[in-house]
Amino acid sequence: MWFRGRLEKAHRVAWILKYGRIQRGKWVLHRCDNPPCVRWSHLFLGTHRDNMADANRKGRTAKGERHPTAKLTEAQVRAIRAAADPYALGRAFGITNCPIHRIIHRMTWKHVK
C-alpha cells in the first residue's frame, strides 16, 4: 500500500500507526506467522537474524531433503557417515569430496543423527 509517499507492506504501516517509526535494520515480524496479518498484538520488531531464528524454531525453513536443491536423502547421509570409504560412496551418489567432508564433520546435515 502507498503510505507517506512510498510503497509499504500493510503490517509495517500497522506498526507505524500504532507504535511509531521503525528503526533502521529492524523488521516487523509476526507471532502468528501470517504475513498479511496487521493485528498489532501479533507484531513485534526484530532483525533479519531474529526472523530466521523464529522461522527455524517453528520448522518453517527447508533443510535436508526438504530443501529444493538437496541431492541426498537423510538415509544417504547416514550411509556416508557410516561408510568405511565415504568418498567412494559420495562418488556413487554423484557428489564431490567437499560436500562429503562437510557431511562427515557435521558442518551440513546437522539435524541427521
Mean pLDDT for 68-83 is: 92
- Among 58, 8, 6, 2, which residue's Cα sits nearest to residue 30? 58
Averaged pLDDT score across all residues of the chain: 91
What are the domain boundaries of the chain?
A: 2-57, 64-104
Does residue 10 surpass a pLDDT of 90?
A: yes
CA angle (17 as vertex; 16, 18 as ends), nearest 5: 95
State the DSSP H helix or E strand holding residue 18, giving kind and residue range, or none if neither. Answer: helix 10-19
Mean pLDDT of 56-79: 88
- Contacts of 100 by beta carbon, 8 Å cutoff, 6+ apart: 80, 86, 87, 89, 90
pLDDT tens string 24-51? 999 999 999 888 899 999 999 999 999 9
Confirm whether pTM is higher than 0.75. no
